[in-house]
Amino acid sequence: MTTTAHTEEKILFTQGNIACAEGALYAGCNFFGGYPITPSTEVAEHMAEELPRRNGAFIQMEDEIASLGAVIGAALAGAKAMTATSGPGFSLMQELIGYACIAEVPCVIVNVMRGGPSTGLPTSPAQSDLLQAKWGTHGDHPTIALVPSSVEEMFTETVRAFNLSEYFRTPVIVLGDEIIGHMREKFRVPRSGEIEVIDRKVPDGDGICRLPYRADGKHPACLPNFGTSRFHVTGLNHDESGFPTMDPSIVQDSNARILDKVYHQRELIDKVDMRYCEDAEILFVSVGSAARAAEEVVEEYRRKGVKAGLFRPITLWPFPKKEFIPCAERAKTIVVPEMNLGQLRTVVERFARSEKILPVNLVSGEPLDPDFIVATIEKSKR
Amino acid sequence: MFDYSAYLRNEKLPHIWCPGCGHGIILKSLIRAIAKTGWDKDDIVLVSGIGCASRLPGYVDCNTLHTAHGRALAFATGVKLAKPKFHVIVVSGDGDALAIGGNHFIHACRRNIDISLIIFNNGIYGMTGGQYSPTTPQGDKAATAPHGHIEPDFDVAALAKGAGATFVARGTSYHVPQLDDYIYQAFMHKGFSVVEVVEACYTTHGRKQKTKYKSNLDMMKWQKDRAVPLAKSREMKPEELAGKFVTGILHEVERPEYADRYAGLVTSLKGGDK
Ligand SMILES: Cc1ncc(C[n+]2csc(CCOP(=O)(O)OP(=O)(O)O)c2C)c(N)n1
């Protein structure tokens, strides 16, 4: 199964969820398994429309666990595979996210976030899963999560998610939110080749590989796709041959390796949008749609001569601490606007004294707007 | 003598199963059926969930995928749809296939995707130490039913047929030549095929039934005495069949297969609108 990924340059005026699906297709996604859930469903609907036209496979599974299971199975058979969901469905996927981590299966999981816990506010925006994306599945595992804040970034970050997942052989999470998913903006879809598309490395030569989980140093393992080598894939701890082992030193090393392969190559993953951070005394740290409001406040402050800056991690996990620490040290105040009750703040607190930090939290189901941020700042001064 | 070593990862033996377990009997039957198909080992993908039965793929020399508890059919569906040329076989315990994996089971039946599911029905959760499963006989003792099991069990074959599977067979670990044939026929069938294998776990289940079984042999005898071949069952009255189970190829029909339908959809869109 191959997809025709020849894309002409085109200008689209569309919503983030469609941009996300277009980004997946640009990256060569040829398998989608999903289950409908607001506010992510348009991703699945667009893939259902497009994939069969491009020789790719679309399937609506019976639930989100099955969706991610099918995605992982397809990826092992050689497909570039993706699923898309929202809060409750993301909760259901957690066990298999861990499976993809330990079995080192590339796949992309899009979570267009909504309120929670439980059914929460299905049609309203929130940024409720920033921490679930990192800690949702049990056990130590690497996490790569990208947070777009515009329709165009839903496209580009989905392409990047595929690239990172293929390169590192690990699941990559795209955290959209209801605003970014449903908002319409104009953006230019690049021609094929304009953005690099990375495909997983498979063993060279005749493709026969007896040690699919052998990885030298920081490099990811290099599994063949099913059909050659007749190897074994398991969610049990395994040795380089892929077979289960309880040998303490192998277990210790392989558990560490799947983290190290990601965290030792941060330069390939880190991505931050920094505005006026060089001299910012009041630093805003924000992601996704909340960062759009923060950006407006920063511009307004700058016009008034206030030294404000924006630190917007586009790669949220791993958190870009190298870039963040100097900005945090310079700033007198760090404002953290987010549509939850302090998830991003828990990260900021690791790098900055808590007296400096001013949380701005909105969980009412309304979009976080610049006035709310300014009002919260003003109130804190009183 | 049949040469099993050509299909086994011999260096992975001995297996983890206890003496008296039926899983090894089914493994050999499965290997004989695979050999009869003549399939290239590179084209076979053997998928399982979690449980004692699910450790089987580790011993077989083909593409093998040991997934999460209950999810084997979901993974297998992805493999098959992504690469329809693969022969996809799923092995699953009764808990794996029917409790935690029950939803995937009925939907795989409904889709009629070309996968063969072999259910190792020992009527108990073996791996976790003998807790009751959806097929534990009522009245039996189990680790989580120390006072006797009060729930009714599933008729697995009826469930599969009702959900839309196009091939359903039931065999036992006692009637081995028949089992070889059911598994082989399931492999040859185009569409979703289910083979329920009634077998036993003496270690975690048999031992708890103080009077019913004195050894794993009694559990084999139980299978022998209860199994009624399909043809014979047709001559029996319902009251004669009480407490027994019918074996054989119980259901076989043709219906369009899922991956074929999908391929048809792709073809119909080629050069079409856009
Ligand atoms: C999500 C999840 N829940 C529970 C378990 C624990 N568990 C492992 S195997 C098993 C049941 C095994 O029974 P069965 O599927 O009938 O197979 P058998 O061991 O009898 O062959 C359970 C409950 C698990 N591994 N994962």
**Bond before B14 cis per omega within 30 degrees:** yes
Residue B193, domain extent = 8-272
Say which residues have a Cβ less than 8 Å from residue A291's Cβ, sequence separation at least 6.
Answer: A149, A273, A284, A310, A312, A337
* B126 C-beta closer than 6 A to ligand 1: yes
- What is the distance in A from the centroid of ligand 1 to the CA of B162? 25
Low-confidence residues in chain A, pLDDT < 50: 1-4
In a domain, B3, yes or no: no
pLDDT band for position B271 (50/70/90)?
low
Residue B172 within a domain: yes
**End-to-end alpha carbon distance in chain B:** 59
Q: What is the pLDDT of residue A5?
A: 57
Q: What was the pLDDT predicted at A95? A: 98
Q: What is the distance in A from the centroid of ligand 1 to the CA of B216?
A: 22
Is the dihedral angle over the CA atoms A288, A292, A293, A297 positive or is it negative?
positive
Ligand 1, residue B120: give the atom nearest the CA.
21
Dihedral angle over CA of B93, B187, B107, B158, nearest 10: -70
Q: Give the distance (Å) from ligand 1 centre to CA of residue A228.
A: 30
B1 belongs to a structural domain: no
CATH of range A10-189; options 3.40.50.970, 3.40.190.10, 3.40.50.1370, 3.40.50.10800 = 3.40.50.970
Token couple for B265: 């959809």
pTM over 0.80: yes
Q: Which of B15, B16, B17, B50 to mutate to test the pocket of ligand 1 (most atoms within 8 A of CB)?
A: B50
What are the residue ranges spanned by the domains of chain A?
10-189, 274-380
- Candidates B21, B71, B118, B125: which one to mutate for ligand 1, based on the most atoms within 8 Å of Cβ? B125
Confidence (pLDDT) at A86 = 98
Report the first-to-last Cα separation within chain A, whole angstroms: 63
Question: Which percentage of chain B shows pLDDT scores above 70?
Answer: 99
Is pLDDT above 90 for B76? yes
What is the DSSP code string of A42-72?
Answer: HHHHHHHHHGGGGT-EEEE-SSHHHHHHHHH
Identify whether the C-beta of residue A335 lies closer than 8 Å to the C-beta of residue A373. Answer: yes
Specify whether the CB–CB gap between A340 and A130 falls below 8 A.
yes
pLDDT in tens, A311-355: 999 999 999 999 999 999 999 999 999 999 999 999 999 999 999
In the predicted structure, residue B85 carries a pLDDT above the cut 90: yes
Q: Of the candidates B47, B63, B75, which has its C-beta nearest A227's C-beta?
A: B63
Residue pLDDT, tens place only, B46-65: 999 999 999 999 999 999 99
- The CATH code of the domain that includes B97 is 3.40.50.970
Q: Tell whether B228 is covered by a domain.
A: yes
On whether residue B143 sits in a domain, the answer given is yes
Predicted local confidence at residue A2, as pLDDT: 43
Average pLDDT, chain B: 97
Domains A10-189 and A274-380 belong to one CATH topology: yes
Would you list which residues of chain A are within 8 Å, Cβ to Cβ, of chain B?
1, 30-31, 33, 52-53, 55, 57, 59, 61-63, 65-79, 81, 95-96, 99, 226-228, 230-236, 243-244
The CATH class of the A274-380 domain is: alpha beta
**Domains: count for chain B:** 1
Determine the residue type at A49.
E
